Structure 1
């Protein structure tokens, strides 16, 4: 079927593919915003300053121009009114009209014919036919002839009104004054305002550029220093002045703190990998040796059972070591603990109870003296830390174990003491280091991570851990803000 003429190939209104003007305008605005945001910040700031100053200077220029024009027009209208009054008096008195320099007049009949005129306007038609009709009807007409631009030496301001003569005839009196001085003053004012506005705009743009550069120079210094960080240089920090406290300085301090945390995290990761590889090597080597020996020649069932027991012991050692490393790394990387009010006697009891069976078998006792009250701590980490201290005391001493816990001035002091030989003197300075073990305890079970974990838990709470020897044995004390 052939479509009607004039409609072939034209999609109906609202058809798919049609692009309304609104959508097109939105797309143009989006493209404009993308181009704007791709500009350097300094350029955007200078353009913003220039546009803002242009609007301010344009408004100020317009205001000054309007005020001066109004004052000049008032003066010109006052002079024209005075001259028209004199002209009207001369016509009614039958005298030849005169006037000041730059003045002119015409006297018309009611049909618009010129009856009298000064030399300046003798051949000019000052009123249009419509204005002549309006004045004949009694209306006063004000009119400007010529504009401010282009330059015209014969610009006039006229006033026309019907005048009744003594012989009862009516004529139209047209008084005119040159506007040259007024127009020249306005043109000079425009030139001066334009020059002043242009110079002010240039100065403001330059000041905006220098201000933007001065404000963004620290950012550029940060960028150059960060580029050295990207090359793998360690220990480098952004150059932040210490005698300032503005937004960019605070940003620099924040970035340096972030770099400190990142470097600390990288150091923890490096230490974790080094510790894990060092400590896992020995049990893995023992496992390999046990299996090699078991496979070297045929073994009896008893020998294989003994080998499997040894392998199981080493596997358990690997599991314990891995768990200890992971716990230590996790508590060391915890920035924010989940503190909550915890009953202090209940906390101590829950940490000690799992060890009472082993204590009873060893014919030893554990006593706990916890002051009543609550403490604001993270029990998830503090409970196993107390358990590590009790476990260390069980393995490295031979007497009773005593725990004291009390709060004073918002600080929890928890001490675990035992009866035994205490810490070797050369071991005390490094007691809380990872994998630090006294020579006498190297043949006993353990990974050397227990006290390191205790110190990490105390540090994560904002506290400290301290080890010392007493007259009866060893004592480890935790001081934790609560």
Structure 2
């Protein structure tokens, strides 16, 4: 702010000096022209009277003359105190070179400043030199007064401009200072929105800054939630693994006991892998906000998910049914939709019973994707909190689930501006808005591109559990 005020003051100083100099020059020019006109008129009167042998008028205050011979001696005139011009000037005028000069300075002030014109005059008695002078006292006083007034006006204007510049800069930069303080405290405490004023460029910056603070606050909250979730869920399997290892080292173990210990450790490691993948998936989806949408073929999506889990279902004597072709193409994110449906099918295989049915329905410009099994369904007391993080039904607490599967399903639905709900005894439904026009749906749809590395990771995290 100080630099801005100094810049304004410096600029105003230059402008005022230039403007004052211009005014002083114009007034001085006008005064000099008036003095020259008055001197010329007086010179004509004096030289005319001398040429005709008469006496010039003597009642002209501030005007005087002297008559010299060729050698510079004063022959007459009405100025007797001092010589108006020096002998050299008289000699030059006698030689035919008229001169005009000022005697006395504006600063420091002279006692008797005047302007004098020296010229040769032919008379009946011969050639003489006449010096005609006019006082510049009022001329110089007017210019000195003008300089004083300009200095006072410039100083007053500079002071006012500096105060106005300071006030303007302070008013303009106060919001920026508030933004700075808000940015300084962002992350260390709950971030409050910056107070905004009228709609201008700074206010629009404030809106952008508030949005940034909101995103920072959400990111911080996600980070805290992620750390809390990870520390809460990872503590138990890690503690159990440490306990089993400590027990295993207390005494020599038989091959059967060693195998049992390693099987238990492998189960805990698989649980850690599943939990880590589920946490990373959920955090990635929460952080990305709204999913990047593209055309997704619903039939291809359901077929791909069912094909991936059909071998696991067949191993337990169960089947996965898919609906007849619907021809529906929706705007969605193939990867996240695949992950959500995969979680639902995996949950049905883990905690349900009987065959699994995948369904797709498109009505009222909404597409509903559902997964149903033939088991007992969700306990009534569990339905209200089924989509909360780490929420598990009592019957699933001994099966190694992480409690993140349905939470991830809900996050996928929200990223598509849709909803997830338990719509039957053992049915979970994703309701997604909109679908593509018929001509768009008729085009070859894209399903999720799958690479070898991604297939491996999908298999690893296929069953995060309810």
1:475 to 428, 433, 444: 428
Cα offset, 1:389, TM superposition: 2.3
Cα drift, residue 142 of structure 1: 1.9
1:341-356 matches, cutoff 5 A: 341-356=295-310
Compute the displacement of 1:296 (Å).
Answer: 5.7
Answer whether contact 2:343 2:405 (CA < 8 A) is retained: yes
Q: Distance in 1 between the 2:297 and 2:327 partners? A: 8
What does the per-residue CA deviation read over 1:150-196, in whole Å, with 9 as the maximum and x for residues that have no partner? 122311111223333356x4333221100111111111111111112
Out of 55, 68, 75, the residue aligned to residue 14 of structure 2 is: 55
Residues 345 and 162 of structure 1, relative CA distance in 2, 3 Å threshold = farther
Given the alignment, which residue of 159, 164, 173 partners 2:122?
164
Provide closer, same or farther for how the CA distance between residues 323 and 465 of structure 1 changes in structure 2, counting only shifts above 3 A: same
Match in the other structure for 2:103: 145
CA contact (8 A) 2:84 2:116 kept: no
Task: Tell me the residue number matched to 1:74.
Answer: 33
Shift of 1:215: 3.6
Match of 1:178 among 132, 135, 143: 135
Post-superposition CA distance 1:83-103 (Å, at most 9, x none) = 111112212221012251111
Equivalences for residues 10-409 of structure 1 within 5 A? 41=1, 43-99=2-58, 100-120=60-80, 123-127=82-86, 129=88, 131-132=89-90, 134-166=92-124, 169-219=126-176, 232=188, 234-237=189-192, 239-241=194-196, 243-288=197-242, 290-291=244-245, 294=248, 299-334=253-288, 339-361=293-315, 362-368=317-323, 372=327, 376-397=331-352, 398-404=354-360
457 and 127 in structure 1: CA distance in 2 versus 1, 3 angstrom threshold: farther
Q: For 2:117 and 2:53, how far apart are their aligned partners in 1? A: 20
User: Compared with structure 1, are the counterparts of its residues 481 and 156 closer, same or farther at alpha carbon in structure 2 (3 Å cutoff)?
Assistant: farther
**Residue-pair matches, total:** 431
- Do the aligned residues in 2 keep the contact of 1:294 with 1:307 (CA within 8 Å)? yes
**TM-aligned CA distance change 1:299 to 1:228, over 3 Å:** closer
**Contact 1:434/1:448 (CA < 8 Å) preserved in 2?**
yes
Q: Please name the residue that 2:445 is paired with.
A: none
Deviations 1:370-426 (A, max 9, x none): 6547655443333222321222233343233123266987xx734123143443333
Change (3 A) 1:229 1:463: closer
**Counterpart in the other structure of 1:38:** none
**Counterpart-to-counterpart distance in 2, 1:143 and 1:84:** 14
2-side partners of 1:141 and 1:458: how far apart? 101
Deviation at 1:477, TM superposition (A): 1.1
Give 1:449 deviation, angstroms.
0.9
Give 5+ residue unaligned stretches, structure 1: 1-40
TM-score, with structure 1 as normaliser:
0.78
CA distance in 2, matches of 1:337, 1:61: 66
Structure 1's 296 and 72: CA in aligned 2 closer, same or farther, altered over 3 A? closer
Structure 2 CA distance, aligned partners of 1:375 and 1:139? 105
Q: 1:212 to 1:149 in 2, by over 3 A?
A: same
Q: Where do 5+ consecutive residues of structure 2 fail to align?
A: 436-466
CA contact (8 A) 1:422 1:469 kept: no
Relative contact order (C-alpha < 8 Å, sep 6+): which is higher? 2
Q: Is the 8 A contact 1:229 1:236 kept in 2?
A: yes
**Matches of 2:252 and 2:330 in 1, distance apart?**
61
Kept in 2, the 8 Å contact 1:348–1:370? The answer is no
SS in structure 2 of the partner of residue 476 of structure 1: strand
Structure 1 residues 85 and 288 mapped into 2: Cα distance closer, same or farther (>3 Å)?
closer
Contact 1:240-1:249 at 8 Å conserved across structures: no
1:327: Cα distance to partner? Answer: 2.0
Deviation by residue 1:425-452 (Cα, 9 ceiling, x = unmatched): 3323222211112223333342111111
